[in-house]
Chain A
């Protein structure tokens, strides 16, 4: 019998080695796998490359992982925010490598990795500093830049409901990078509010089919938390 259910985030992340490349889902706080990031911080692996849209907010979560000196490189589109002080300080001190990628190229490079695409030509970024040194081609009169897939050893994502086969549904804009990261990583770990019995998820409504998911951890209803008071 297949069971991708794990009893804890710690169990799901136990095997992450030093030097791993890890995708972390979320756009701002929506879809951020908070409990998995906390478990990664606890787990201790270091020299990590992180692929994520942002580079951490405040002092917790991804920002704390950066602050602990565990990340050597981050691939992201929007590191600078009003509360990205930990990343900002590391970057200015030359203690973290940054690969800045336009958001849509980031998404497509992740998608390409999951879909077995060797590389692709995209119009985004052509003629800009972020395409410097990259191969270009004019196709049917339009200029394109060659971009390569981004793969990862692990993807840590957050979803709404999951089952023991790893089928996932999401809620509203928290979906963001979850489905594409799940497809791009060797091992995908999803935290979900609730694990439901097999058959409870409407097959027509499954967004990430379980084939892309390796571990599912139930982390409890987010609605119970303070910031959710309005939608309880």
Chain B
């Protein structure tokens, strides 16, 4: 995935994005990891923190993926992958599972995205292609379903255009729902004021990101600079 990176020191691999994001999850958090890229985060959760994973098909206390010899067809995650159960786990039906999500009981949810707007609008369920078969699953519920919603993605598409945009062109999953964006080039905070750069990867500069995204990015990389902006 990262073999074609020209400036390896200025960008993170997907695993490095996941590792960096994992470091921000506090001890005691209840967290949901979306299907795909976000599941990588579970590989890097700090061992000294107790973090409880929620899977929306009906479980808290989900353990790692199950390997042959331990596969139970009744025990799968939202991606329909066989998983394991940790001590202290609990099971519940879909009504309760999405109720705990919608009701704001989860601390953090991590999602992938096609596009995120500077104000935190999310597009991650459909590219809007006319011949595609639509499928939404829990995407719209997850987008509004945690106290903090984090997105992890590469900042640029394969074609080189920014996936952090002024306004999403793909169909929306949720409005103003993403709080923080972890990318291979920088970490951003998103709110009503727009996008603020919190942390840069390697020698990446805020101006480079402004050129890439075409956005007026606030510079929050240091308290002094944040005050000036």
Asked if A43 is at the interface (CB within 8 A of a chain B CB), the reply is no
| Given A128-B140, A172-B74, A98 and B174 contact (CB-CB distance below 8 Å) | no
Q: How many A-B pairs fall under 8 Å by CB?
A: 156
Residue contact B95 to A103, C-beta cutoff 8 Å: no
Verify if B68 is at the interface (C-beta below 8 Å from A): yes
Closest Cβ of chain B: how far from A217's Cβ, in Å?
A: 19
Contact A84 B76 (CB under 8 A): no
In the complex, the answer to whether A80 meets B135 with C-beta atoms within 8 Å is yes
Q: How large is the interface on A (under 10, 10 to 19, 20 to 34, 35 or more residues)?
A: 35 or more
Is B102 close to A, CB under 8 A? yes
- Find out whether the CB atom of A77 lies under 8 angstroms from the CB atom of B137: yes
Find the residue from B59, B76, B134, B136 having the highest chain A CB count within 10 A: B136
SS class, residues of chain B in contact with chain A:
loop
Cβ-defined partner of B171 (8 Å) among A28, A105, A129: A129
Task: Answer yes or no: A17 CB below 8 A from chain B CBs.
Answer: no
- Tell me which residues across on chain B come within 8 A of A119, comparing CB atoms: none
A140 on the interface (CB 8 Å rule)?
A: no
Say whether A108 contacts B99, CB under 8 Å. yes
| 8 Å CB contact of B173 from A81, A128, A177 | A128
Chain A: which residue is nearest B56 at the CB level?
Answer: A103
Collect the chain B residues with CB atoms within 8 Å of residue A101's CB. Answer: 136
- Please state if A104 and B141 are interface contacts (CB–CB under 8 Å): yes
| Interface status of B150 (Cβ within 8 A of chain A) | no
Distance from A34 Cβ to chain B, minimum over Cβ atoms (Å): 11
Is residue B80 within 8 Å, beta carbon to beta carbon, of the partner chain?
yes
Whether the Cβ atoms of B136 and A84 lie closer than 8 Å is no
Are A107 and B98 within 8 A (Cβ)?
yes
**Contacts known (A79-B134, A88-B133, A100-B135); A123 close to B91, Cβ less than 8 A:** no
Which of B76, B85, B98, B139 is close to A28, meaning CB atoms less than 8 Å apart? B76
> Taking A103-B56, A179-B93, A231-B72 as contacts, is the C-beta distance between A78 and B137 under 8 angstroms?
yes
A173 B76 Cβ-Cβ under 8 A: yes
CA distance A91 to B131 in the complex (A): 10
Q: How far is the CA of A87 from the CA of B77 in the complex (A)?
A: 23
Asked, given contacts A80-B133, A127-B172, A173-B76, whether A102 binds B139 with beta carbons under 8 Å apart, the answer is yes
Does A178 have its Cβ within 8 Å of any Cβ on chain B? yes
Q: Is the CB of B95 within 8 A of A110?
A: yes
Contact of B91 among A77, A100, A170, A228 (CB under 8 A): A170
Q: How far is the CB of B195 from chain A (nearest CB, A)?
A: 19
Q: What does the 1/0 interface line of A190-232 toward B look like (CB < 8 Å)?
A: 0000000000000000010000000000000010000110110
Q: List 22 A-B contacts (CB under 8 A).
A: A27-B76, A29-B80, A79-B134, A81-B135, A100-B135, A101-B136, A104-B56, A104-B145, A106-B94, A107-B94, A107-B95, A124-B140, A126-B175, A128-B171, A128-B172, A173-B77, A175-B93, A176-B57, A177-B94, A178-B93, A180-B95, A230-B70
Please report A residues at the B interface, Cβ cutoff 8 Å.
27-31, 77-81, 84, 87-88, 91-92, 98, 100-108, 110-111, 122-130, 143, 170-180, 207, 222, 227-228, 230-231
Supply 17 further A-B pairs (C-beta < 8 A) apart from A101-B136, A124-B145.
A27-B80, A28-B76, A77-B135, A78-B137, A79-B135, A80-B133, A104-B101, A104-B141, A143-B175, A173-B74, A173-B75, A175-B91, A176-B93, A180-B95, A222-B73, A231-B71, A231-B72
